[in-house]
Structure 1
């Protein structure tokens, strides 16, 4: 067919064919795409979603792990709010957030600001030494620091050699100092991670921004708040997320250094879940605490992400 009518039909057919290919453009979701992610989704479901669902079910029961279980409903969750023994681990975890997250991020930002303003020789060696705790197993870290903080350990020996015998104490056996001592170990471990993240982010910041700020008469403090900190917003979000999770799921360091003691002065949710599930036979209470801990970690992660994204707009 020729003529204007035929040309119009051919044009309409071409448009339909083009729209069909646009709808099925590469990169858009297709049925075959789900087949590629199906193995990973199956592993994720078997090793994470299914155990999480089982834990949620156990949290609704009174069960000692051996005998017949009885229905508890939301009783285990009510106990989390009313039982001081169950609330205390979450309070201790909140204290550890300061040492594991706030202090490492603050120190990392301070060091990054100094290192971006002043050139220091041996930067690669400096970063490697600070990042070293991240590549060590936490069990190794705990054993090493337990020896350092022992009553006859390196720290007390150093204080005694300096004539500060009044400051020596059993750092991990003192009700007042045990939790800050564990937190200080966490600060030592997480600071290197934050610093490496921030230095990597600072390297991509245009040097022209620093030069413009200095031409305008900006000092180190103003330069940090107007150039460095806004440019490291994404890295700060990542560092806060990783350190928050590390603080809340802290188990191995507590287990190696203090075992939750003295008394329950350093008990944290993850350690309390282990103790109640495998030592005292309170599987339902342990499961409820595990679910609550999961919800807290998820909520804090979402909150950090939303805050950073909101300020970035």
Structure 2
């Protein structure tokens, strides 16, 4: 520390400021290695991912939406036809039937998988020693290939397959039928396969949601005399509202674009009884070469998925409590 004596007798300190504030100011002016890059360009790290998403997903979707208004065959030139493709779609009974089948499989699978998954989650949540093994067994179908699962079930549903053989053993031979070749039952067979494979996924979502439900509240309600159903309806279900929203949203979106199971089991038959919008898009685009027509079908499917996803999110969104 040094001091300077002036003519008026006063001294001026030349020492550095030793206060914490002074140290902080001094250190703030010192350059830090790597800091300018992070401060200026940290958003550059996500730029490659944004570019891939923009060009592969959004640009491709926009291009498909454009070709929906053309008569392009996938090769060569095309002509802008306006809404002619959409008019042809809504004037074709088979396409209307495909829309109905799509909605039936979507909502049927969402309802059944969520009910079955929630029941399994409640049963395997706690108190059962073998719950971890059972959880693994119920989740195994989810990780299997949809095509492999569909071909296994196709063998089960054959006229000479295990299902009809089992019915014969029970003395119910009059109920034996070619399940996948029957227009009245083929769509139900496809639904069974979808529910069987996807129930384990919803079960895992609900198990994760049930882990956040306080045990003390359930025990207090039981002591106060609340029944099992009352504890579930007024305590458990409101506590897992976010899990319900996730499970139903994912199930609805996946159900609306069902493709693998239908193509492997029935190929859209018999007589279009299991045809969906996704299978129609594939056939019109790649089998028949009607790229513009197939793009119009894909655009309709996209709009349907968007509408129902938004409605579902509104219905399952958490509502703020009154007074807040």
- Give the TM-score band, short-chain normalised: 0.7 to 0.9
Q: Does 1:137 align with 2:145?
A: yes
Aligned residues: 286
**Bigger mean CA deviation after superposition, 93-102 or 257-266:** 93-102
With over 3 angstroms needed to count, the CA separation of the structure-2 counterparts of 1:202 and 1:163, relative to structure 1, is: same
Q: Does 1:91 align with 2:100?
A: yes
Which residue is equivalent to 2:73? 64
Q: Is the 8 Å Cα contact of residues 124 and 135 (structure 2) preserved in structure 1?
A: no
**In 1: Cα distance, 2:74 partner to 2:312 partner:** 37
Which residue is equivalent to 1:82? 91
- Please give the secondary structure, in 2, of the residue aligned with 1:262: coil
**Structure 1: gaps (5+ residues):** 1-16, 18-29
- Please give the secondary structure, in 1, of the residue aligned with 2:238: helix
- Please give the secondary structure, in 2, of the residue aligned with 1:71: coil
Match of 2:207 among 199, 204, 215: 199
Match of 1:106 among 88, 110, 115: 115
Which residue is equivalent to 1:242? 250
Give the Å deviation of 1:36: 2.1
Q: Is the 8 Å Cα contact of residues 101 and 190 (structure 1) preserved in structure 2?
A: no
**In 1: Cα distance, 2:43 partner to 2:82 partner:** 37
**In 2: Cα distance, 1:262 partner to 1:53 partner:** 34
Of Structure 1 and Structure 2, the greater helix share is in 1
Q: Is the 8 Å Cα contact of residues 122 and 207 (structure 2) preserved in structure 1?
A: no
Q: Is the 8 Å Cα contact of residues 79 and 86 (structure 1) preserved in structure 2?
A: no
Bigger CA radius of gyration: 2
Superposition RMSD on alpha carbons, in Å? 2.1
TM-score by length of 2: 0.83
**In 2: Cα distance, 1:131 partner to 1:235 partner:** 17
Give the Å deviation of 1:310: 4.4
Q: Is the 8 Å Cα contact of residues 233 and 312 (structure 1) preserved in structure 2?
A: no
With over 3 angstroms needed to count, the CA separation of the structure-2 counterparts of 1:231 and 1:312, relative to structure 1, is: farther
**In 2: Cα distance, 1:311 partner to 1:148 partner:** 45
**In 1: Cα distance, 2:196 partner to 2:108 partner:** 9
- Please give the secondary structure, in 2, of the residue aligned with 1:172: helix
TM-score by length of 1: 0.86
**In 2: Cα distance, 1:64 partner to 1:42 partner:** 28
Which residue is equivalent to 1:163? 171
CA deviation string 1:238-260 (max 9, x = no partner): 11111112111111111111000
Give the Å deviation of 1:67: 5.4
Match of 1:309 among 300, 313, 317: 317
**Bigger mean CA deviation after superposition, 140-149 or 75-84:** 75-84
**In 2: Cα distance, 1:88 partner to 1:259 partner:** 15
Give the Å deviation of 1:111: 3.0
Which residue is equivalent to 1:44? 53
With over 3 angstroms needed to count, the CA separation of the structure-2 counterparts of 1:312 and 1:250, relative to structure 1, is: farther
